[in-house]
Amino acid sequence: MTQLDLELQLCKQDFRFFLGYCFQHIYKQPFFFYKFHNDLINILLDLPPRQIINAPPRIGKTEIMKHFIAWQFLEDPSSTVMYVSYDKALVARKNSEIQDILLWLAKHFSIPELYMRSKNDGKTEWTNNANGMIIARGSGNNITGSGCSTLLVIDDPNKPADRTSPAMLSRRNAIFTSTIRNRINKPDTPIVVIQQRIAAQDLTGFLLGGGSNEKWAHANFPAINADGTALCPERLPLSEIEAYKNDPFTLNAQFLQVPLDDIGNLFERHKLVLSNDRPVLKSLRLVISVDAAMKTDANSDYNSIAVIGTNGVDYFVIDVLNFKADITLLCQKIRQLRQHYGTDTPVLFEAKANGVAAVQILRREMSGIMEVTPSKSKLDRALLVKYLFDSMNVKFTVRGFIWGEIMAQFTAFPHGRHDDIVDAVVQGITFLHRRIQNLEAIHKQTVTNVSLSRPIYGGAYGSSGHSAIRGF
C-alpha cells in the first residue's frame, strides 16, 4: 500500500482526518478543532433521521458542513445529496465550492467516479460518473426535480431580514412542508437543519413546535457559554458579540440562539399577571403615564392612560383608560386622575401631537406635568423593561373589558394594530424604574438620613413641573 493509498483510506475512515487533510492540501493551512467543531462533528457522524443544529455565524459551521457533504461522495461516489439555503446565489457558490473539493479529490487520489457531468452549468445540479448527484436550491423558491437518498442539508433557510416579515417566515415554512421535505427518496434519509436563529417562527421554531409532525433532535450552541466565555473565541470573540448589545434582536437570536418573538409575542401571555391583591396606594410611588393620540377621527389611535405604582420591587398597573376623544376630554381625564391619586403624582406625556398641546394646557393649572422625548423606538423601549414582565414583577390590578384589551395589545405587540396601552405602561414603568435607580445612587452617596415620608418627586420635578425627560 502506497502512502497515498493510506491517506485515502484514512480520509474515508475518519472525517476529522479528512477535514484536516483538505485544509492542509487544498487551502495550505491547518484547521484548528475547537470544542464546538468537535461537538458538531460528533452530531454529524451519528445523525438521527431529523436533526436541528443552531449556532451563531462565522464560527465554521458551514465550512464543516460542505466538507461533510464532500466526504459522503468520497465514501460512496453514488451518493445523492440535496443542499438548500435561503439564497439561490449563495447556495450556488457553496455548491461550486463542494465541486472544487470533489474535483481536487478526483485528481489527487485518481478516482474517476468523482469526475462530474454537470447539469445547469453545475450551479444548481450536477452528477458524477457514478451517477452520484448534488441538487442545490434556494429555500425561497419551490423545489422540484430529483430527490436524494443520502442526505438533505438545509443550511440557514432564513435570511436575517425574514424576521420582520411574518409572511416570508410562513412562506419558507410552507415550502419546507410542501416541497423540500418531499425530496427525500426514503423516509429515513437524514434531514439536517443548521441555522442561526432569526425569529421564534423561523424554520427551527416551526419544526420544534411540531410543524412537520416529526420528532427532531435539537443541538443548540449559543455564542456565549454558561460560564460567560465565548463559544469559539478565536473566530467569534466576546468583543464582537458585545458590539451587538444595542441590537437585542440580533444579539439574542443570531448569536445567543434565543430569538425575541417580534412576530407578535414579545410579551408572553402567561407572564401577564392579573393580581387579585390591590396594593395600598400610600405605600407606592405613583406615576400617571399618557400615550396621546395623534388625531381624533374614527380611524385614529386611542388615548391611553396608565396609572402605575411601585414599591421598589414590583410594578402595579392600577388603572388603565383607553378612549378616543379630543384634547379637552383628555385634559379632563388627567384632572380627575390627579384628584383621585394625588395632586403631587407626576404625569408623563410623550412629546408628540396632542401630548404637547395637553402639556401646554395642564402646566397652566398644575405642577408635575412632564414631557418625555424618546430616543429609541417603541420596540427598543419595550425591550428595556421586558425582563420585569418575564420575572412577573409587573402586576395588573384592573378588571373587566379593559383587561381583555390589555391582553390583546400586549400579546400582539409590536405588530398589532393598536399598541397605545403598551406604550403608556412601558413609559410609566421605565420612569419609575429610573427614579428608583437614581434614588439608590443618591442614597449610596449621602450620609444624611432622609425621611421616608418626604415626597419622592420633590425638587427638580416637584415644584415647577416643567421638566422634560429625554433618552427613554
Could you tell me what percent of the chain has a pLDDT over 70? Answer: 86
pLDDT in tens, 58-82: 999 999 999 999 999 999 999 999 9
Is residue 447's pLDDT more than 90? no
- Number of helices (H) and strands (E) in the chain: give both, helices first: 14, 16
Set of cell numbers at residue 388: 420585569
Say how many CA atoms lie within 13 Å of 15 toward its Cβ.
22
pLDDT at residue 117 in the model: 79
For the residues 343-350, what does the mean pLDDT come to? 93
What is the pLDDT confidence band of residue 462, given thresholds at 50, 70 and 90? very low
pLDDT in tens, 72-113: 999 999 999 999 998 888 888 889 999 999 999 999 999 999
Task: Find the angle CA(102)-CA(105)-CA(110) to the nearest 5 degrees.
Answer: 125
pLDDT at residue 297 in the model: 55
315-323 sheet: strands from edge to edge: 273-274, 394-396, 315-323, 303-310, 285-291, 347-350, 369-373, 468-470
**Residue 118 φ then ψ, to 5°:** -75, 150
Separation between Cα atoms, residue 369 and residue 457, nearest integer Å: 12
pLDDT at residue 6 in the model: 96
For the residues 217-246, what does the mean pLDDT come to? 88
Cβ–Cβ under 8 Å, residues 307 and 429: no
Set of cell numbers at residue 19: 477535514
pLDDT at residue 18 in the model: 98
pLDDT at residue 140 in the model: 60
- Give the DSSP letter string of 131-156: S-EEEEEETTS---S--BSSEEEEE-
Is residue 366's pLDDT more than 50? yes
List the domain boundaries for the chain: 3-255, 269-470
Separation between Cα atoms, residue 268 and residue 375, nearest integer Å: 25
- DSSP annotation of 310 reads E
Consecutive H or E run containing 238: helix 238-242
What is the pLDDT confidence band of residue 451, given thresholds at 50, 70 and 90? very low
pLDDT in tens, 275-303: 988 889 999 999 999 998 876 554 567 89
pLDDT in tens, 167-206: 888 889 998 998 898 899 999 999 999 999 998 889 998 9
| Pairing outcome for strands 315-323 and 125-128 | unpaired
Separation between Cα atoms, residue 291 and residue 397, nearest integer Å: 20
- Mean pLDDT check: name the lowest of 48-52, 293-297, 405-409: 293-297
For the residues 454-462, what does the mean pLDDT come to? 31
Separation between Cα atoms, residue 304 and residue 292, nearest integer Å: 6
Q: What is the dihedral of CA 198, 55, 96, 43, to 10 degrees?
A: -130
pTM over 0.75: no
What is the pLDDT confidence band of residue 448, given thresholds at 50, 70 and 90? very low
For the residues 380-402, what does the mean pLDDT come to? 89
Is residue 252's pLDDT more than 80? no
What is the pLDDT confidence band of residue 355, given thresholds at 50, 70 and 90? confident
Is residue 454's pLDDT more than 60? no
pLDDT at residue 160 in the model: 87
Cβ–Cβ under 8 Å, residues 64 and 194: no
- DSSP annotation of 287 reads E
Neighbours of 365 (CB within 10 A): 11
Contact partners, residue 191, CB within 8 Å, separation at least 6: 49, 50, 51, 152, 154, 181, 184
pLDDT at residue 461 in the model: 30
What is the pLDDT confidence band of residue 456, given thresholds at 50, 70 and 90? very low
CATH number of 3-255: 3.40.50.300
pLDDT in tens, 139-169: 765 566 678 999 999 999 998 888 878 888 8
Cis preceding linkage at 57, omega within 30:
no
**Can you name the CATH fold of 269-470?**
Nucleotidyltransferase; domain 5 (3.30.420)
Separation between Cα atoms, residue 179 and residue 138, nearest integer Å: 12
